[in-house]
């Protein structure tokens, strides 16, 4: 296996773990914060929040839609959520990336959130080698690939 | 500019386009001017310039005047670090967690009313 990228972010929220957890599992909440920042934009969210259930989030902006989907691998309220993550608009190849969210209670009713996103493609393979892209885009077989080939 | 006003992280949006990724791949082999960059594409110089503008704003390239021509260079920082995608996802999640934070604050404020 080639080494894959991983990112890790930590945040403390001024809310109880239950509240933070709910914001990750509820379609209406997700639509509020899982979308680009400025107020004219929105997201369409479908969520089946259970292990083995799937989600799909489509972020809308004036230029195009950005869709992502995945499956819940682990749900342990109000402590941990693990899901697969595929951004349909970037060439991540066949590897599904994985996001895990861990919540820990902090003093004062706060919550520490640790987000780890791993299995990310290494930039070189995607930005550095046009041949690599062609293979990936062909595999994708989606809009990007057909657009490219007819161009 | 409309393109800049969108909330999605700029690097991500810049990389999402196949033409722009191809331009970056070309620049990895060395600097080039707009005409050279436009060659493989069936599009106008103006259209290619627009792509270059997006890449420049995302910090992925910079343009430099060499006498009368402007040459484009790949910017080492975002790309040399093994993964542009990793950096792009980092900004993406950073923005999302900011949004989550403000969502939780608003919810709390509503409850306290």
* pLDDT tens digits, A94-149: 457 899 999 999 999 999 999 998 887 655 444 433 343 333 333 333 333 333 34
Cα of B49 to nearest chain A Cα, Å: 18
Quote the tokens at residue A105. 């209670």
**Higher-pLDDT residue of B33, A131:** B33
User: What DSSP letter does each residue of A99-129 carry, written as one string?
Assistant: EEEEEEEEGGGEEEEEEEEEEEPPHIIIII-
| Cβ separation A63–B84 shorter than 8 A | no
Sign of the dihedral through C-alpha A44, A34, A133, A120? negative
Q: Which residues of A100-118 are buried (b: 16+ CB within 10 A; e: fewer)?
A: bbebeeeeeeebebebbbe
pLDDT of residue A75: 98
Question: Could you tell me which chain A residue has the CA closest to the CA of B19?
Answer: A148
Closest-CA residue in chain B for A143? B18
Query: Cβ–Cβ of A120/B85 closer than 8 Å?
Result: yes
For residue B31, give the CATH number of its domain: 1.10.10.10
User: How many beta-carbon pairs below 8 A join chains A and B?
Assistant: 124
Chain B nearest-CA distance from A51, in A, is 22
**pLDDT value at residue A89:** 65
Model confidence pLDDT, tens digit, residues A45-70? 999 999 999 999 988 766 667 788 99
pLDDT at B64 over 60: yes
Residues in Cβ contact with A80 at an 8 Å cutoff, skipping those fewer than 6 apart: A74, A100, A101, A102, A103
User: What pLDDT, on a 0 to 100 scale, did the predictor assign at position A95?
Assistant: 57
Would you say A60 and A41 are in contact if contact means Cβ atoms under 8 Å apart? yes
Among A61, A121, A148, beta carbon nearest to B8: A61
Helix ranges (H only) for B1-113 are 2-5, 10-15, 18-28, 34-38, 45-57, 76-80, 84-112
Task: Give yes or no for a cis peptide into B78 (omega within 30° of 0).
Answer: no
Q: Hey, is B5 helix, strand or coil?
A: helix
Q: Residue B13 — pLDDT band, cuts 50, 70, 90?
A: confident
A29, A144, A148 member nearest B103 (Cβ):
A29
Please report, rounded to a whole number, the percentage of residues in chain A having pLDDT higher than 90.
Answer: 40
Which of B6, B24, B108 faces A63 most closely, judged by CB atoms? B6
Residue of A nearest to B43 (CA): A151
Tell me the average pLDDT of chain B: 78
Predicted local distance difference test score (pLDDT) of residue A84: 93
Task: Give B43→chain A minimum CA distance, Å.
Answer: 10
- Which residue range(s) make up the domain with B73? 2-112
Q: Do A5 and B83 touch (CB under 8 A)?
A: yes
Split into its structural domains, chain B has a count of: 1
Nearest residue on chain B to A11, alpha-carbon basis: B97
Q: For B79, which residue in chain A has the nearest alpha carbon?
A: A123
Identity of the residue in A37, A41, A121 whose CB atom sits nearest the CB atom of B85: A121
Residue range B8-31: mean pLDDT, rounded: 77
Cβ–Cβ below 8 Å for B6 and A62? yes
Least confident of A3-7, A131-135, B57-61: A131-135
Half-sphere exposure of A38 (CA within 13 A, CB side): 12
């Amino acid at each position: 296996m080639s080494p894959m990228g991983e990112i890790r972010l930590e945040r403390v929220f001024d809310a109880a773990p239950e509240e933070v957890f709910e914001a990750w599992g509820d379609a209406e909440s997700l639509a509020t914060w899982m979308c680009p920042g400025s107020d004219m934009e929105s997201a369409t969210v479908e969520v089946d929040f259970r292990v083995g259930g799937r989600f799909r989030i489509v972020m809308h902006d004036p230029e195009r839609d950005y869709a992502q989907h995945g499956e819940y691998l682990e749900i342990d309220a109000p402590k941990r959520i693990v899901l697969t993550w595929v951004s349909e608009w970037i060439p991540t190849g066949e590897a599904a990336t994985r996001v895990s969210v861990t919540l820990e209670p902090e003093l004062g009713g706060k919550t520490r959130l640790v987000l780890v996103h791993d299995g990310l493609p290494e930039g070189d393979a995607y930005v550095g080698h046009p041949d690599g892209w062609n293979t990936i885009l062909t595999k994708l077989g989606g809009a990007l690939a057909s657009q490219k080939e007819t161009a | 500019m409309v393109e800049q006003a969108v909330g999605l992280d700029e690097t991500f949006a810049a990389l999402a386009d196949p033409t722009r990724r191809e331009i970056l791949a070309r620049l990895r082999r060395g600097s080039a001017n707009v005409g050279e960059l436009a060659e493989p594409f069936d599009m106008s110089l103006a259209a290619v310039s627009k792509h270059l503008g997006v890449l420049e704003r995302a910090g992925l390239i910079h343009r430099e005047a060499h006498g009368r021509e402007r040459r484009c260079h790949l910017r080492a920082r975002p790309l040399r670090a093994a993964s542009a995608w990793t950096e792009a996802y980092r900004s993406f999640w950073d923005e999302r967690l900011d949004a989550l934070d403000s969502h939780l604050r608003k919810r709390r404020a509503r409850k306290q009313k």
